[in-house]
Each structure stands twice: as structure tokens, then as C-alpha cells.
A and B are shown apart, each in its own frame.
Chain A
Amino acid sequence: MATLAKPSSKVGRWVREDAKAGTFKVNREAFTSQDVLDLEREQIFDRSWLYLGHASELKNPNDFLTRPVGGRELIFNRNRKGEFQAFLNVCPHRGAQVVREPTGNAISFKCFYHGWAFNNNGKFATKSRPGTYPDGFDCDGAVDLPRVPRIESYRDFFFISYDANIGPLREYLAGAADILDLVADQSPNGMEIVSGTHEYSIRANWKLLLENSFDGFHAPDTHSTYFEYLVDELGGADAVDFQSMEQFNEAIDLGNGHATTQAKAPWGRPVARAINTWGEKGKADEQRMVAELIDRVGPERALLIADRDRNMGVFPNLVVNDIMAITVRTFYPVSPDLMLVRAWALAPVGEDPEVRHRRLNNFLEFLGPGGFASPDDVEALESAQRGYGAMKFAPWNDISRGMLREKPRADDEAQMRAFWREWRRRMEGE
């Protein structure tokens, strides 16, 4: 795991870091300008590894799904051999979307517009009368379904890149791979996406959600109603371990713009920290899981998996929150002040039905558009976006919290600074 990068002083148009003074400022134009967004598409989204989906979403050979990634509609599928592939969902003929279902199983795809057809390796397979097209028409690949330049996976998390020359995914992920390990290792049977997608939009700049997703500072204020609910669920304030919350509390720079918080929160974790409300059966279930973890990954990693909570941002737009449940969340800007969000629940394959019940119950009490917390995040982000209307006279966001602290806490802003340093490198140069 990478250690926290030494802060330096940089004065750019959008990001101003003063290591000596301990201040870090981001200009609000970064959230409002169409020119900035155009540059982000070029310098960031077209030159990064972007989260595509999880292997468990395509269980069988020939399974497919469609979804937008980085502003383009994609087909994510497996061929007859079971190999995972990604295509642009656009007909090479005249541009219509070739696959229009969200999921399915198919050995071939046919465009509904003029009937051009492709096998599920993307190869042109349209039958025409002789003489309709010249000989060798389909030899150079120009009439095949266009492949996304790169697709790679780490621990069943699939990513694509529009940059054919980008380095390997594993290198790009840097320390984020270690955190994905702590997620992927939660079960001896692997992990799976639970059916059902949270799909929503937020009338705010996409970077505000990235910041918010691992922002420990906002939780007590923005989410006071959730914590009041939680305290009641736990059986009163006496049942809350405030000392551990204070003691285990850090932010880790994972390199390449990725960062995570790591703390010990008071809620129950499906893997594997019981709360009183779950009763003796719940406690026994969790103890069994902890024993299995210790056996399989050793006591140190078992403790990190079972008893620590992490909110990770993977540059630029993947969030993995491993908290009272696990959510995988990605988002993409439609315009400077509007983003589309997709989020899923991740869980162990073959999870005991009672544990799965506790997991999804936990998920919904905090996470998602109907939870007791996320709607207030949406409100906060949209509120900030409206605030940026006054940018001319109030131009700077402050991201300085804890900058002079030796070891940053989860409720400091070091994780955001890690993101912004990489953003600055891409947008403003070294």
C-alpha cells in the first residue's frame, strides 16, 4: 500500500496547493465550465481505466449486458469460449444501437435498422446476395462491431480503456488493488453483484460525488438523522463504541489519484461484525465467518476485512464503499452540472439467506436514492452546485482539512487531495 505522498506547492488555474501554509484550494470553475468538462473527457475519461462491470454479471458463455461507460454505449459480453469482451454498441453500417436489451444471452447480434448482423465476437456475419458488396468487404474489420481498445480485469472487476496505449490495469490500480483484494477476499466462493441496479442522476458536477463518496467530514452533519436511527437500532448510545471510532480512523493515498478511508464504524458488517440487534444467531454467524477468514487469509487481513470500514475512490469515477454493505458505484457527467449514477450491491456468492437479508437491509437504510442518507448527499451536492453560481465573487473550494497532520484521519480531506493532485496533473500538467 502506498504511503501518503508528500504535499508540494503548486499554483495552477484550478488547483492551488500551499504545503507550507497547509492550504489546498480548488477553483469552482472546475465544476461549472464546459471547457473544463471537454478537457476532462480528453485528458481523463479517454485516458484512464474505467469500471465496466463485474464478472458475476455474465455468469454463462454468450451472456451479454449493455451499459454506458465513459459516455459511450457498450456491449459487455462473453463469447462461446466464455471470454469477456467489450464492444461499442453502434452499428458500423449507419450507427444505430445494435443491442437494445439491458441483458441477455446470444451467439449473434442483429441491428434492427437494416439487419446487419454480427457473431458475438463482433465479426461481420450479414448474409447478402452475391454482388451486393465487393469481395473482401468484411476482411479489414471495418464492418465488424468496433471493439473497445482495451479490456482487463482484476479480481473479477472489469475495466475498459479508450486509450489503446494505456499501461496494464494492475499498475494503474496501484494500492487500490489491495483494497479490492479486501473486498474480493470476503468470501471463499467469490463475490457477486446482487440483481437490481440503483440508477439515478444528480444535478451536480461528477467530481462532487467522488469527493462525497469518501468524505468522512460530512457524515455527522449531513447524516445526523441516519446516525440517530442507527443509535436506536444499536440499542442506545451506550452500545456505540466511540473509542474505536476515534482510534481507528485514517485516510490512505493509494497512488495514481486513488485513495481510501479506513475506520471502525458502529454499524454491523455482514462480513463480519455483529450488532446486538442481530441476536445470538447473528453473532454466531459472524463469529463463524471471522474464523473462516482467519483460517483463509490470516488474522491481520481477517481483522481488516471483518472489522474495518472503507470508502475508496478509484480515479476517476469508481467508488467502492465497503461499509454496512458493499456498494460499487460509478458515474459520468452529461454536462458540467449533471451526472448519471449507477450503483450496485456486491455480496458473497452463496451467502446464507439470513446474512443476505441483513446485508440488503443494511444497504437500504443508508445507501441509495431511498435510503436515510444518500438523498441528503444528493441535496448537498446540488446545493453546492447552485452555490457555484456565485463563483465570480466566491471562487474557491477549501480542501485543506488535516493537511498539516502527520497521519491524516478519515474525516480529514487527504483522500480528496489525492484525487485532485492527479486531476491537476492531467488537466494542468506536472
Chain B
Amino acid sequence: MMAVTDLAEVSTGLRPRSRADYEDFLYREAALLDEWRLEEWLSLFTPDSVYEVPTMGIGLEAGPDSTLFYIADDYRRLRHRVVRLNKPTAHAEWPQSTTVRAIHNVRIVGVEDRGVHVACTFTTYRSKHNVTDTYIGHGHYWLVEMNGEVRIRTKRVLLGMNSLQPHGKVSIIL
């Protein structure tokens, strides 16, 4: 991993945008999810992308082929996740829950082969049946450019709780 100041020398030629650009991108992603515009949200991902939520205590190193995760979607399954969540038969999210996502502490970690590593912290509130559950954690993104726009190649969500108590599920997209 290279420090941000060394980016001029990056051989991939990938130059990171400004932090403000990435903040705008993450805010937009959060808004699409809060508004349940899931197809548009999916269009933020590259065709070789992955979306991962490891179990508690698993960081960035371990992979879903050797460790049990909560979610480890490739693009194909992510697309199915969106299709499913748009159906009234996705019972956990029907009627759809209300969510509020706050994104904070956005920083550019560095540039890697997979893309620009951008990290943030998040607070996501989900309300249904008059119960509000709070998901907190760190979002790690590897972002690339496609047709002049920012796209997500990897999104890994590290939950900051000890367990899914009292949430019981990750039925929304974090």
C-alpha cells in the first residue's frame, strides 16, 4: 500500500480523486439505499465486484473461502440480493423498513491494485414494527473509475458490534 502523497508514482496510473469527491459518492450511495433505489445502487458496482460482511472480529485479511461470513456476494449474487429485496415475498423487508444512514470519518487510505482504498465509519438505523436497530461499523471500499465515474469494486463492511444482538439479521444492505 502506498501513502497518498506517493500517488504520482503509481504505475497503474490510477490517480485518486479528492476526498470530497469520494464523500459525495458515499453520501449518494447511502441516499440510494435509504430511498430503496436498489437497481440504481447496484449500478454503482463493477461486474467483478464483491460485497462482504464478515462475522465479528474478522478484519480485512481473512476471506470468505476459509472463514464463515454473514455475507459474501459476488456480483451475480448481489444482483439476486437486489432482485429479492424488491419482492414483497422478501418478508424480512416487507413492508420495507425505514433506514437512515450516516457516513463519517471518510479518508483515502491508499492506492492498491484493486483500486483506491477509501474507508469510512457508518451508523445505519433501521426501523420496522416500531423497533429501531442500529448497525455501526467501518466501511472499506476499493473504488475504480469506469467511463469516467466512480465504481465500487470491493465493499467490505466490518460491523462494530460484538454480535447481531438485538438485530437478529442483516436483511438490509449495509
Task: Specify the chain A residue showing the minimal Cβ separation from B54.
Answer: A196
Complex-state Cα separation, A232 to B81, whole angstroms:
13
Complex-state Cα separation, A222 to B77, whole angstroms:
20
B interface footprint on A169-212 (CB within 8 Å = 1, 0 otherwise)? 00000000000000000000000001111111111000000000
B interface footprint on A343-371 (CB within 8 Å = 1, 0 otherwise)? 01100000001001100110111001110
Please state if B72 and A364 are interface contacts (CB–CB under 8 Å).
yes
Please state if B65 and A380 are interface contacts (CB–CB under 8 Å).
no
Chain B CB count within 10 A is highest, among A197, A222, A356, A370, for: A370
Please state if B66 and A372 are interface contacts (CB–CB under 8 Å).
no
Please state if A375 and B65 are interface contacts (CB–CB under 8 Å).
no
A276 contacts B by Cβ under 8 Å = no
A9 contacts B by Cβ under 8 Å = no
B80-131 CB contacts (< 8 Å) to partner A: 80-81, 83-84, 87, 89-93, 129, 131
Complex-state Cα separation, A344 to B69, whole angstroms:
10
B121-174 CB contacts (< 8 Å) to partner A: 129, 131, 162-171
B47 contacts A by Cβ under 8 Å = no
In the bound complex, residues from chain A placing their C-beta under 8 Å from that of B83 are 229
Chain A contact-residue range equals 35 or more
A19 contacts B by Cβ under 8 Å = no
In the bound complex, residues from chain B placing their C-beta under 8 Å from that of A199 are 55-56, 162-165
B14 contacts A by Cβ under 8 Å = no
Does more than half of chain B's interface fall in helix, strand or loop, or is it mixed? Answer: loop
Identify A225's interface contact among B56, B58, B90, B166, CB under 8 A: B90
CB distance from A109 to the nearest CB of B (A): 21
Known contacts: A194-B68, A201-B164. The answer to whether A370 contacts B169 by CB under 8 A is: yes
Chain B contact-residue range equals 35 or more
Please state if A196 and B55 are interface contacts (CB–CB under 8 Å).
yes
CB distance from B63 to the nearest CB of A (A): 10
A379 contacts B by Cβ under 8 Å = yes
In the bound complex, residues from chain B placing their C-beta under 8 Å from that of A338 are 166
CB distance from A276 to the nearest CB of B (A): 15
Please state if B92 and A379 are interface contacts (CB–CB under 8 Å).
yes
Chain A CB count within 10 A is highest, among B72, B80, B169, for: B169
B64 contacts A by Cβ under 8 Å = yes
Please state if B77 and A365 are interface contacts (CB–CB under 8 Å).
yes
Please state if A369 and B165 are interface contacts (CB–CB under 8 Å).
no
In the bound complex, residues from chain A placing their C-beta under 8 Å from that of B72 are 360-361, 364
CB distance from A62 to the nearest CB of B (A): 21
Instruction: Pull 26 A–B residue pairs with CB atoms less than 8 Å apart, ordered by A.
Output: A196-B54, A199-B55, A199-B164, A200-B163, A200-B167, A225-B89, A338-B166, A357-B65, A361-B72, A364-B64, A364-B69, A364-B72, A365-B77, A369-B169, A369-B170, A370-B53, A370-B70, A370-B170, A372-B84, A375-B93, A375-B171, A378-B169, A379-B92, A379-B169, A380-B91, A382-B129
Contacts A369-B171, A378-B92 aside, 17 further interface pairs with beta carbons under 8 A come to: A194-B67, A197-B56, A199-B162, A199-B164, A200-B168, A200-B169, A229-B80, A344-B68, A364-B70, A364-B72, A369-B170, A370-B69, A370-B170, A372-B80, A375-B170, A376-B92, A379-B92
Measured CB to CB, the residues of A under 8 A from B are 102, 194-203, 222, 224-225, 228-229, 232, 338, 340, 344-345, 353, 356-357, 360-361, 363-365, 368-370, 372, 374-376, 378-380, 382, 386
Measured CB to CB, the residues of B under 8 A from A are 53-58, 62, 64-72, 77, 80-81, 83-84, 87, 89-93, 129, 131, 162-171
